[in-house]
Amino acid sequence: MGVLGESSVVLIPAVGKSFGSVATDSNLKRFRNSPPERIGVGGEYDYNGLAKRVARCFQQHFGDEVAQLKVRQRGCVVILTGVVSSRRLLNRLVSLANTVEGAALVELYRVTFTEDELVTACRVS
């Protein structure tokens, strides 16, 4: 399988959020002992909580379209790696990841696209 598009490391900041885990007064009560990026799916402390919450959000919204995408985190930075069907889908995923509590940046690392490859194959046939 050839790869048509591949991204290197790209940092995409969350609009309207400062970098790092800054809590507002309303969030401070919920996250008194743990920063937002360390809160798990069920509200418990989880070192990789942000990545799990983002992955769950992706699965709920896009289902099998994100089966080949890995979600990791480094502090409040969400890291996406793997294969997606198109740049359009990737843009939607980045926007969605930026809305998750605790996310300050989305980093793309070796994300590949398959959509354009299919279009090229159809033109050759």
| Residue pLDDT, tens place only, 39-91 | 999 999 999 999 999 999 999 999 999 999 999 999 999 999 999 999 999 99
Distance of CA 123 to the CA centre of its chain: 32
- pLDDT score recorded for residue 33: 78
Output the pTM of the full model.
0.73
Q: Which fold has domain 5-124?
A: Histidine-containing Protein; Chain: A; (3.30.1340)
Could you give the CA distance from residue 41 to residue 24 in angstroms, rounded to a whole number?
Answer: 20
Helix (H) or strand (E) holding 111: strand 105-113
Instruction: Report the mean per-residue pLDDT for the chain.
Output: 83
**pLDDT bucket at 1, cuts 50 / 70 / 90:** very low
End-to-end CA, the chain:
16
pLDDT at 125 over 70: no
Could you give the CA distance from residue 89 to residue 109 in angstroms, rounded to a whole number?
Answer: 16
